[in-house]
Structure 1
Amino acid sequence: MREILLAWFIVQAEEGFLIRQTVPEPKIAAPGIPCGALCRARLGNKMPDTSKPAPVVTSVCAPAGYGKTTLLSGWTDKLGSRVGWVRIDESDNDPATLRRTILAAVRAAAGYRPVPSEPPRQRGAEWTLVSALAEVLHDQDSPVLLMVDDAHRLHAPEAVGVLEQVVQWLPSSLRLVVSGRRELALGLHRMRVAGQLSEIRTADLALRPGEVERALTDAGVRLDEDGVENVAALTAGWPCAVRLVALALIRAGADTGPLDRVVMADPAVRDYLEGEVLAELSERERAILAGMCVWDEFTADAAANLTGCPDVGASLESFERAGDIVFPTGNGTTYRVHPFIRSYLHAALRRRQPAVLASLHAAAARWSLTRGDIVAAAKHSVHGGDLELLAEVVRAHGPSLVLRGETALLLELAAKLPETAVARPGIALVLALGEMASGDRASAELRLAGMAGAGDDEHDTSLRDLRVIVRTHWARLTGRLLPEMTELDERLGRMHTVDLTVLGLVNRGTAALWLARYEAAERDLGLARRLGERHGYDLAVLHCLSHLAGVAAAGGDLVRTARLTEQALGFARQHNETLRVPCCYAYTLGGWAAYQAAEVDKARSYSARALELLGPGNDRTVRLGAQAVAAIVDFDHGDDPYAACVRLRRLWTEVAPDEPVQLALAAHAVSIEQRMALRVGRPGWAAEAERRAAMWLGESGEVELLRVRRLWHQGRMTAVRSHLQKITEGELGCLAVTTRIEAHLLATLLAYRAGDEQRAETALRAAVATAGPRRMIRPFCDVGAELRELLVVRQGRFGRLDPFVAGVVAALPAGRPAEPELTAREAQLLRELPSLATVEEIAATLYVSANTVKTHLRNVYRKLGATSRREAIVVARRRGLL
């Protein structure tokens, strides 16, 4: 009984002391919201809500400058009354002071007036604060919210124990928010498991790009989209850092330069980081951070190697627990220094100890080489100042950099080398390869010309391998392939390094595609793709995907073509920006597949994109293909068909008579060129296309189809039939699937017009059977709308190809006007119509009678769908005939 009375007296004394002592009002008052503070409404669902039973505790934990207090102040302002504040300072490490402060804050929020309390039963002094809180909140109608800010200032175990007791025995009508730079040992894990805890961490408080832009604008700084992205990347969304960037940019005024250099030169940045972030670190910890500032990401082993501290892992774990300097990345085996702090440390070393910074980069480059990280080694070598190391990276790993799409980095390395090093054959060949890949053909040509008298390399097999690869790549750009292909065939099987093997396969496979050796191209490009995926050669993988799509397109498999082009473009989007330009060929093939499938918008978009990306780094065949597809699409769907026809015709002036032409490209492009020429009334151009096709393709189905079209245009249907049979019956082989399809369709129309329903049915089914699996709708559109009637009455009879037939019918809608081709005389007459000459004057000019002119004129009106001379001129100009 005596012990109980003693406890009662202790409690009464403690509670009386709690009641009698006063707490300074600013310590339990919510701070004001800073001017220009962002309202992060997206965090509202994580903030405490006194109208809901859970969560009862909210933990806000983030480093300095993340706006924790601002967030809580804004939430307090939104909730209004019944919110108590405790602003922790050093004095609160005294448990009695902390108890008084917490009780005063809760009493103020609850509007409590103390009354004498009954003695608690069998409770010790540690229950004093919990009992007092329970008494204050006993008769409350709604919960009270208590904000405990800057909780990280509590370091005395007894003071932390006071707060832990509040968490453990939290009254039902109290909601608690604990905010600080680190999480205290308050037993929150139990509440986390019970679903009574809400957590707001650094990632939640970090500003999103849109919030970064708004913060900059509110501070008076307006940047474009790229500028905002740069600020977001430099600060990683750290609100205080964003504010410092804004102040630095305002003070810099008209001074320009890289963002990090402008910002890190500002005294306010230095004062904040030195005073708030780095001041509490030991000299050893600062040295570790300085050593790691040259890395984007690093492992514990790399840190130990560069700093010479074998136990650096413990320091990294300490940094990670602090949460504001070093963060784990990936699967937790790598780390990164906060980009803002890293940039500051890097700038400080560059300004005060440039030699130390260079030595760190050189050491990082050597470490990266031992780990096989060639890109990182190259990036560090640029800043390392070790010329021998630079030369080693260029000579030994330059081909690998090209295959990875890091050509710009390779050329940046070369710019640091002295002329004596650049003149070495191994380095010169690597740089020529990089210049060709980047589109700088002039520099590559000068470099190769300067090597014409270089020393013998018979005893250096890797140098000989590199030399033949460079020559083959140059041959691809110029179109003269055969001599280099022979030597590459001889050496490729004996290459010992992976990068040269992949380069050899890529070059040989691409050259085989241009020479119509499709099986060899498929084999080499497929193997190069697999090796590229295994070794991280991103540019090689993209190149192989695009050119495998080219193999599929040459074979008429447009379904696979479309799939591979989309795969290539998706791969490029997932990787770095350097893979954007090499997408030219993928866009070309994607546009071609869309054109054949009658997907007009996609065909126009892809062909236009291919032209945008076209440059001197592309093979000659890629350039021809991109320009040809763009002209073909523009002819059918652009504003000036005549100009598109002229563009396609002029392409062939780039090709010398003795140069090889990719046969699939020639087969498709020349055939379409003839059709375009006939449509615009240029029979002479059509005849020229036919002669060119005969020179390139020999006796083939394509050349025979061109004869068929010419005879059809002249109305010689008997001759048309005999020539068509050579194609439809397989007497002549066809390089392009579209040739067979169009031949069957023309045979369909001939039989239909002759009343031979059975032959028309057979020919039409043959065309659908060939075109359907390949989604080739375009040949049906080219032959004309007359086919629509034949397909409509037969819909539902094509089995699994019925959806394809429905697509063809949709592409040839009812009422679509036919566009019969004008004869040479009619086209000549049409060109005279815009003049003010009368029919008689035109007849005299053409050396024919007026009646002949009138007959031709009626035919022109009928074919153009016009009823007058003025209307015929308008229609002709719209179709590109004038």
Structure 2
Amino acid sequence: MAETSSGGEGPRAPVAPGTDPLGDPFLRSRFAIPARPATFVRRQRLVEHLDQALRTPLTLLNGSAGAGKTLLAADWAAGLRLPVAWLSVEEGDRHPGVFWAYVVQALHAAGALESGPAGFPADPPRVDSRLLATLAAELNDRDRPVVVVLDDYDRVSAPEIAEQLEFVLHHAGRGLHLVLVTRTEPLLPLHRYRAAGELTEIRAAELAFTPEEAVTLLELHGLSLPVSAARALVDRTRGWAVGLRLSALAARENADPELYLKEFEAERSTIADFLLAEVLKGQTEETQDLLLRVSVLERFCPELANALTGRTDAEPLLVGLHRANAFVEHLGRSWYRLHPLFGEILRAHLRMRLPGLEPELHRRAARWLRSAGFLPETVAHGAAAGDWDAAAGALVDDLAIGRLLTGVPSDDMAQLFSTMASGAGGPETELVRAARELARYDLDHGLASLRHAEEQLAGHAPDRAAAQLSCALLETLAARLTGCLSRAERAAEAADALRREVPRHLLDKHPELPALLLTHLGSVRLWAGRFEEARAALTAVAGAPEGAATAMPREESRSHLALLDYLNGWLGRAERRALAAVSEAEQDGLSQSSGSGIGRLVLAAVAVDRHELDRAQALLDETAELPAGTRDPVPRAGRALATARLLLVKGRARAAVEASDAAVSGAVSSPWAAGHEAVVTSAAHLAEGRPDEAAEALRSVSGDQPACAVEAAAIQLAAGRPEEAIDLLDSIHTQGGTGPAVTVRAALVRAQAAEEAGDSATAHRLVARALLDARRERLRRPFLDAGAWIRPLLATAALHELAAGWLTPGSPVHGERPRPESSLSPLVAVELSGRERDVLERLARMMSTEEIAADLYLSVNTVKTHLKSVYRKLAVNRRGDAVRRARDLRLL
């Protein structure tokens, strides 16, 4: 290897013993392995990684300032049984001669090199190649390798030193293991070492503290905190060692350490002093300006950074900052982000150094992001700048207003507009305001904002089609909240026409828009009693492709379909749909929206019909948190009627009437809601001994509502009007769409009329048919409500056999004390698969999840998936409940 030199200096005098080539005495402290503080946390996973690294000639410990690199290396080195030559590199070591003099002296201090042929460099700027070759040869001749740790190696900037170090490392063979502790990428050809399997790297991600390690660190500082609190601190600091230590020291002086660690202001902490001194102040003026400006961004690329600085030099600056571990993290594809704490501190510094600039930076960011097609970030920066017209314009032009209505927790778009003040604005701003207000069921303000938007968009140009289509969507939502079918149909027709004017890629990008439109339309049609048209619209949404954007409309549509099934008398089908909708809503993390509320209300109504009163009450209690005020009439009516039916069963007639009144309180009436309310009122009158008033209350009930008609017929018969009862049954328009909950009640009314007319054979035949239909659904209420006339029939051998196991001759009728609900077997929602039955059987044997997995030759995760499915199908949450319910259903 040729000699390296920085100039044409003449020969120098021999170096005095104990001095470096500059004539300065060696600083012995630079050879000492640093001591570990009392609060040092020994992280065994990293120590073991360094032990394994001894198999490779080169180890790289690369991390930011304060990442814990030096203490980790010192702790590991202190425990080695090999000789360790430690050298803390300093700025003066930029001269090759000085650097190598210190390396040789470190080897001597470690006892790894005897005084001999290698000698010392004589000149600061140059190193004799013979010295390096001799040094490498001496190391190669060692029986045991020596570990050389070069701490703060990033201070070495001379390329020739890196070249020389590579030469020695290569020729020292197994006699040298080199550890570089650095903040930056060394100039060594690391790619060659990686390709040859001769490099071990420990970088920032591995150096970061885990929550469990953070707990230990906090305990050493006298703080006893739960792992959850430590995890939040680790998330905020990214596991940065110095950040954790400084936070712990500050929290120790605080009256509420846990609260302090959760809410401390980074810019007012000692962390700020550290980062400003170690990172920011060491940068050039241009780099500092870049860092301050990009601090307003969650992530940035060079082009976006240039838009904020007005310069064109962002790319090399960002690459350099990342390579220097200057708390600029590379996300891939030229995108970067700041360390969270560094970002907080820089934003505070920005407000101090460049007051008033922050809103303008957000505006510039919003403009660039909008042109690049990054909608959420565009809206976020428009909102941060207080430029609501720009933020709303981006949202509406992208046809994304439906994202304010989908209720997806991961989508914080609605939250971005939460601080938008009231007042005048452009049509897009008014549309966003209307969407927010209608989503909160604030119908009056929502409609006012929607009208303002429509007035401004009147006579629109083709480029405003997205805004007009957004208007149509909100019109269908307003129609849904008022129950106005004509408004919904007009809005849907307008939407169909406008979709042809909107770019196809926008429609494909936002599947939530047609899903929401059809859901609102289907809900209004259901309210209006147009069941088949409602089913068509809702079925289209329920079968839409899965995805977060359509999760809420899909769940709402399935819940509405469940209600349709219930209103048509199909209890089992309604329960299955409702259970699936509620389960999917929980899995998707949706709040208890109107849809999931409807699902629970359907389950409650089914439970009443099966005489599972405790379960019905529990389900109704779960829906008590539905939004109050002006609300969607469908769940409001559903809750009112389910509550009223439960109260009637419990004998609280007056309370039932009061509850049912909410079903018809609205601008537009619903035929089925009005019919069910009339039935509840009539039943209450009859229970209180007023048959004439009971009959009068049923005048509005017709055969167009089969479920209401059969209940009304039963009341007419109980009130002593058999002809009116039979006429009402004969007027029912079934069209083949009514289920057992309707047909069973109708058969029992006809059976009672036949029995009272002395035709016991017909009554017997009709009750038998009713029992057969009801048994599949576990439909008990019609028999419990039938009265004393049915008891002799149920006592006959043939009918007793049909009722056995779910409804016996001893079942309560009016005036009798009911049996405990636990004796009544609920209907299983869906059939269990063979594998689910296998898992359930082993669950009953008290086997653990791991034991079940081993016994069935399945993975533990697969067993857990089957268990979740079993719990959902049995409508339980715990193992013991699943086993008990399965035994009730004779599945075990």
The answer as to 2:50 corresponding to 1:47 is: yes
Distance change >3 Å, CA 227–CA 666, structure 1 → 2: farther
- Letter paired with 1:779: L
Structure 1 131/464 Cα, relative in aligned 2: closer, same or farther at 3 Å?
closer
Deviation per residue, 1:585-612 (Å, 9 max, x gap): 2254167459969999999987655433
Larger fraction in helix: 1
The question of 1:820 aligning with 2:812 is answered: yes
Runs of 5+ in structure 1 lacking a partner? 1-12, 574-579, 772-776, 795-804, 828-882
**Corresponding residue for 1:491?**
494
Question: In structure 2, what residue type is equivalent to 1:546?
Answer: E
Asked if the contact 2:65/2:325 (under 8 Å) is kept, the reply is no
Aligned to 1:181: 183
2:481 to 460, 477, 495: 477
Does the residue aligned with 1:36 lie in a helix, a strand or coil? coil
User: For residue 660 of structure 2, what is the aligned residue in structure 1?
Assistant: 652
With 60-69 and 362-371 compared, the bigger mean Cα shift is at: 362-371
Q: What is the CA deviation profile of residues 793-850 of structure 1, one whole-angstrom value per residue up to 9, with x for unaligned ones?
A: 99xxxxxxxxxx9xx98xx69xx996513428x89xxxxxxxxxxxxxxxxxxxxxxx
Deviation at 1:664, TM superposition (A): 7.7
2: CA distance between counterparts of 1:182 and 1:588?
A: 59
**Partners of 1:43 and 1:595 in 2: CA distance:** 59
**CA deviation after TM superposition for structure 1 residue 277, in Å:** 0.7
Distance of aligned partners of 1:457 and 1:199 in 2 relative to their CA distance in 1, 3 Å threshold? closer
Relative to 1, partners in 2 of residues 1:618 and 1:257: Cα closer, same or farther, differing over 3 Å?
A: farther
Question: What is the deviation of 1:550?
Answer: 2.0
SS in 1 for 2:86: strand
Structure-2 residue corresponding to 1:328: 330
Pairing 1:113-192 to 2, within 5 Å after superposition:
114=114, 124-136=130-142, 138=143, 140=144, 145-169=147-171, 171-172=173-174, 175-192=177-194
Counterpart Cα distance in 2 of 1:688 and 1:28: 103
What is residue 586 of structure 1 aligned with on the other side? 596
Partner of 1:28: 31
Q: 1:35 to 1:195 in 2, by over 3 A?
A: same
How far the C-alpha of 1:18 sits from its partner, in A, is 12
Asked whether the equivalents of residues 403 and 413 of structure 2 are also in contact (C-alpha less than 8 Å), the reply is: yes
Percent of aligned positions that are identical: 23
3-state DSSP of counterpart to 1:298: coil
Separation in 2, partners of 1:523, 1:436: 25
1:414 to 412, 420, 434: 420
Verify the 8 A CA contact 1:58 1:176 in the aligned structure 2: yes
Question: Which residue type is aligned with residue 542 of structure 1?
Answer: M
Structure-2 change in CA distance of 1:779 and 1:270 (3 Å): same
Contact 1:28 1:105 in 2 (8 A): yes
Residue by residue over 1:643-674, the C-alpha shift from the partner in whole angstroms, topping out at 9 and shown as x without a partner, is 99987664322133786676788899999999
Show the counterpart of 2:561: 551
Tell me the CA shift for residue 64 of structure 1. 0.9
TM-aligned CA distance change 1:443 to 1:28, over 3 Å: same
Partner residue, 1:5: none
Q: Aligned match of 1:204 in 203, 206, 231?
A: 206
Deviations, residues 759-812 of structure 1 (Å, cap 9, x unaligned): 9998777667xx5xxxxx65379979x99x999999xxxxxxxxxx9xx98xx6
Q: 2 CA distance for matches of 1:48 and 1:345?
A: 39
Amino acid at match of 1:436: L
Relative to structure 1, the CA distance from residue 488 to residue 760 in structure 2 (aligned partners, 3 Å threshold; closer, same or farther) is same
Task: Give the whole-Å Cα distance in 1 for the aligned partners of 2:712 and 2:428.
Answer: 54
For the aligned residue pairs, the C-alpha RMSD in angstroms reads 6.0
- Native 8 Å contact 1:46 1:199 kept in 2: no
- Conserved in 2, the CA contact under 8 Å of 1:327 and 1:335? yes
Corresponding position of 2:587:
570
Deviates more, 1:684-693 or 1:401-410: 684-693
Give the match for residue 70 of structure 1: 71
Q: What's the TM-score, normalizing by structure 2?
A: 0.66
Aligned amino acid, residue 130 of structure 1 = A
Matched position secondary structure for 2:139: helix
- What is the CA distance between 1:276 and its match in structure 2? 0.7
Contact 1:103 1:133 in 2 (8 A): no
Distance 1:594 1:145 in 2: 73
Over 3 Å counting, the alpha-carbon distance change for 1:368 and 1:161 in structure 2 is: closer
Residue deviations 1:672-723 (CA, integer Å, cap 9, x gap): 9999x99xx9677999999878846646553465378779999x9xx99x98
Secondary structure of the 1:315 match is helix
Deviation at 1:30, TM superposition (A): 2.1
Aligned-partner Cα distance in 1 for 2:761–2:595: 44
Q: Report the CA distance shift for 1:343/1:602 in structure 2 as closer, same or farther (over 3 A).
A: farther
C-alpha separation between the residues in 1 aligned to 2:202 and 2:64? Answer: 12
Against the structure 1 CA distance between its residues 695 and 527, is the aligned structure 2 distance closer, same or farther, given a 3 Å change threshold? same
| 1:248-299 Cα deviation digits (max 9, x unpaired) | 6678989999999962442634432222112232222222223322221233
On the 8 A contact 2:56/2:197 being kept in 1, the answer is yes
Change in 2 beyond 3 A, CA 1:533/1:581:
same
- SS of 1:179 mapped into structure 2: strand
Given that 2:579 and 2:599 are in contact with CA atoms closer than 8 Å, whether structure 1 keeps it comes out as yes
Residue 542 (structure 1) shift: 1.7
In structure 2, what is the Cα distance between the partners aligned to 1:602 and 1:91?
79
1:348 matched residue in structure 2: 349
SS in 1 for 2:330: strand
TM superposition score normalised by structure 1: 0.66
Aligned-residue offset at 1:178:
2.6
Give 1:60's aligned residue.
Answer: 61
Q: Given the superposition, is the C-alpha separation of residues 353 and 157 from structure 1 closer, same or farther in structure 2, using an over 3 Å criterion?
A: closer
Q: Distance in 2 between matches of 1:437 and 1:297?
A: 30
Distance 1:169 1:674 in 2: 101
How far apart are 1:731 and its partner, in Å?
Answer: 6.4
Label 1:175 to 1:531 Cα distance change in 2 as closer, same or farther (>3 A): same
Structure 2: distance between partners of 1:698 and 1:730: 6
- The one-letter amino acid paired with 2:238 is A
User: Does the CA-based 8 Å contact 2:300-2:336 persist in structure 1?
Assistant: yes
Matched residue type, 2:309 = T
Say whether 1:361 aligns with 2:367: no
**AA at the equivalent of 2:376:** V
Aligned length: 748
Counterpart of 2:305 in structure 1 is 303
Structure 1 pair 631–113 and aligned structure 2 pair: CA distance change class (3 A)? farther
Which letter maps to 1:459? Answer: G
CA distance in 1, matches of 2:267, 2:20: 53
Give the direction of change, closer, same or farther, for the CA distance of 1:114–1:692 in structure 2 (3 Å limit): farther
Matches within 5 A, 1:9-20: none
In structure 2, relative to structure 1, the CA distance for the partners of 1:756 and 1:607 (3 Å cut) is closer
Question: How far, CA to CA, are the matches of 2:556 and 2:617 in structure 1?
Answer: 19
Closer, same or farther: CA 673–407 of 1 in aligned 2, 3 Å: farther
**Residue 4 of structure 2 aligns with which residue?**
none
Residue deviations 1:353-387 (CA, integer Å, cap 9, x gap)? 23221211111222233344443333222332557
> Aligned partner of 2:587: which letter?
G
Corresponding residue for 1:779? Answer: 779
Q: Does the CA-based 8 Å contact 2:741-2:774 persist in structure 1?
A: no
**What amino acid sits opposite 1:300 in the alignment?**
P
Q: Which residue of structure 2 lines up, in the alignment, with residue 612 of structure 1? A: 625
> How far off is 1:198 after superposition?
3.3
State whether residues 729 and 746 of structure 2, in contact with CA within 8 Å, keep that contact through their aligned partners in structure 1: no
Relative distance call for 1:337 and 1:451 in structure 2 (3 A) is closer
Point out where structure 2 has 5 or more consecutive residues left out of the alignment: 1-13, 120-128, 785-793, 819-892
Report the CA distance between 1:530 and its aligned residue.
10
Shift of 1:339: 2.2
